[in-house]
Structure 1
């Protein structure tokens, strides 16, 4: 790695650490640590929401899948995730913000307890978020190791450990404030850099026509709408990443942080457009790198996940490469900070309160719990040794199937019951983990092309509706403020 690239990365990381120190000084209470003092404006929240979705999973993993399988990732995930921002704002934005105005509402567990008047739902949701955090954070850990390896020549595992140490340094103190403002910093830069790198990639590949001809010489499917993926796989992705976006806790949790309802306006457009711009980098590098590889002009890589880092270090100016790599590293760290903050809140706030217990000094215990979750996610990422994007899809599916029905559908449908909510969470968790483990040991039972997360997501929605209808006599009278929030 050249001196210029390392210098840019070092400066970038230093700024992120300074943001973390600034955030630590601003973090005085559990409310500051968990919802940034409920004081964010539209632009900060929208860019933070986009950045938390488009991190190591989308950028590094998406480029790897595009390199391997062509346009399928863009059709199934790139487009659908952009649409997902609009759907989430419409379905959840105003409803969650209004619930958040009802006193000390810091977590999604606080929301479901108010909605269902059930501590059991709160406890099960907290458990689901913990499992999802460990799995999804494993994606960020793997991506972090790959980038640290590319920059400093460390082994991916050692790079992941060091990167996780830096993450722990600033997220333990600054909590969600550090996460949000680091997201803002890197998000703005990544949008600008993505547009520049996209055109650099097309130029490096000799133009769109030359890239297409090179890809088609090996496999015409690479340039087709679905790439080399079965149409069922792309359809599953589209369902999971459009509607399932509203089930991502690190996304919808940010609606609790907005200072006023008027700040919701234009947020979906801002976040969706930013995501679409960064997707240009994914498709540009992924297809160009594969084209150059076919021609024997691309450096050897050990895994498709390395295609992005290999391209920017060999085919872009050092300053641009440094900005891309450091931006990715910061995105991974800030997203990781959001995840562990959510997981810690579930362990320290939601699950104890589900048993009528309250932890004293929540801020201190949240910080200590963050360290434990980072360690567990590191071990999980080493065990689930697979492509970054595939690990990310697993985490996304776990969240969608366990969070979307009880929260999003629950805030829309007044006849939903606590039994429907609990059943959907349990079924979603069980299906995602059991089917993924079967896949891990080549014992898949779903038809070819069907994505585990999409299947579990669909089943959990059906279970939520079905059980709620069967237990409709248990519907509790709702607080007038909750009714007002549900009406949007």
Structure 2
């Protein structure tokens, strides 16, 4: 049994970790936060150290998925999960972060809504809410809880969900930020320990070369151009990530937002190197392990008693610091962008705060249900959520951020709608391999598209972006031809 691997010191470590989180929650539980601006964005006074701490911690909850990719594909993981992302981080810091901080809008759907109209903002709210459901992160956390406490996975899902949102609900955004800064320290201790011990016990490059498949030390990893291109496009989801929007909006000034993301890039670089090394060492030392469990199994294999607990709480901190942020932003979107639009009513600030807590509960409950009844790989979930945000929101948002033209009536709404349609169409085609009746009934929709345009239909993100761009372009051409007036209620009207 796994629990026999842990000493009393390991259990003491995890006890102290949860006590520290409880203390942070209690500290802000009794702080008066009746104003929405204080509860949701800490009165927009986030300093540079706090901004960096919460951004770094929030961005790396997919540590199990990253190590899975590194285990299976080697340094291709570093290319797709690090290098491709760095250019987008720099672009975001220089051209986007300052713009967002200067806005009086709190969420990405509000930004879309102001530019393209209420209908587009409402659709963007639902897309963002789904994107913020922490499916992948809760799965990663549940696997860690199962390892440490030897409980069944459904119980691990429930425990992970309850603990992750406890301090969000209790203390608001300040509790999230302070817990993130604390958890950032733990996650770096954990992620550096493993490659350090692996190098000390087994050696460096010569050991890896002798014990890894040759493609694992090749940047291409044996993947096709089409598959690599998907991973190159997915980092664009950074530009439409609601947590980035929320963090930038809560910064003290534009300078904090810009400089903060550039500093984060240095921390993320260290983390990326460590996670790639962990996947490589895991493949070389324990090649028969389940890739999803590679990082945990390697850490428990190499580390001595006392450090096993430190390692696991570091991994938990990595995941929980992302779950809390996603649930918190999901709650904010629910209370500000979904509930008021459904019931067409203005709500008080105190009710908005209460509704956000319900939104957090709904988000974590959906994550538990999806993980319990739909069994897919972590990589599949990452592709799905990354693709959804990119295909639906990227083109409308880039136009809204950088275009000096007047808004195009309905362009944002139909671009999002058709992007979603394209993505769903692709997944329907993928399902036809296990449901051949679909192809027999609808050959023009299921079989022929892949034969006519094999590259386009090789990945969902291509199909989604194609239809999103087509809808946006049609709206633009229509405006130019018919000289339509601006949408009511949009910027520039």
Within the alignment, does 1:194 sit opposite 2:191 as a pair?
Answer: yes
Within the alignment, does 1:342 sit opposite 2:329 as a pair?
Answer: yes
Contact 2:334 2:355 in 1 (8 A): no
State which of 33, 37, 44 in structure 2 corresponds to 1:38. Answer: 44
C-alpha displacement of 1:477: 9.7
Contact 1:47 1:184 in 2 (8 A): yes
Within the alignment, does 1:358 sit opposite 2:346 as a pair?
Answer: yes
Q: Whole-Å Cα distance in 2 between the matches of residues 125 and 408 of structure 1?
A: 14
C-alpha displacement of 1:418: 4.4
What does residue 363 of structure 2 align with?
373
Gaps of 5+ in 2: 435-445
C-alpha displacement of 1:475: 6.0
Q: Whole-Å Cα distance in 1 between the matches of residues 360 and 190 of structure 2?
A: 31
What does residue 23 of structure 1 align with?
28
State which of 261, 267, 275 in structure 2 corresponds to 1:282. Answer: 275
Q: Whole-Å Cα distance in 2 between the matches of residues 440 and 46 of structure 1?
A: 42
Within the alignment, does 1:132 sit opposite 2:131 as a pair?
Answer: yes
What does residue 463 of structure 1 align with?
471
TM-score by length of 2: 0.85
What does residue 293 of structure 2 align with?
306
Q: Whole-Å Cα distance in 2 between the matches of residues 407 and 164 of structure 1?
A: 31
Within the alignment, does 1:426 sit opposite 2:425 as a pair?
Answer: no
Contact 1:428 1:460 in 2 (8 A): yes
What does residue 297 of structure 1 align with?
none
Contact 2:70 2:280 in 1 (8 A): yes
What does residue 91 of structure 1 align with?
95
The aligned runs of 1:213-252 (5 Å cut-off) are 213-216=210-213, 220-241=214-235, 243-252=236-245
What does residue 179 of structure 2 align with?
182
Contact 2:135 2:371 in 1 (8 A): yes
Gaps of 5+ in 1: 295-299, 484-488
TM-score by length of 1: 0.86
Within the alignment, does 1:79 sit opposite 2:80 as a pair?
Answer: no
State which of 254, 262, 266 in structure 1 corresponds to 2:255. Answer: 262
C-alpha displacement of 1:378: 1.0
What does residue 486 of structure 1 align with?
none
Aligned CA distance change for structure 1 residues 371 and 273 (closer, same or farther; 3 Å): same
State which of 146, 150, 154 in structure 2 corresponds to 1:149. Answer: 146
C-alpha displacement of 1:236: 1.4
Matched position secondary structure for 2:223? coil
Q: Whole-Å Cα distance in 2 between the matches of residues 88 and 147 of structure 1?
A: 33
Contact 2:241 2:389 in 1 (8 A): yes
CA deviation digits over 1:334-367, x for unaligned, max 9? 3222222222233322134446422341111211
Q: For the aligned residues, what is the CA RMSD?
A: 2.8
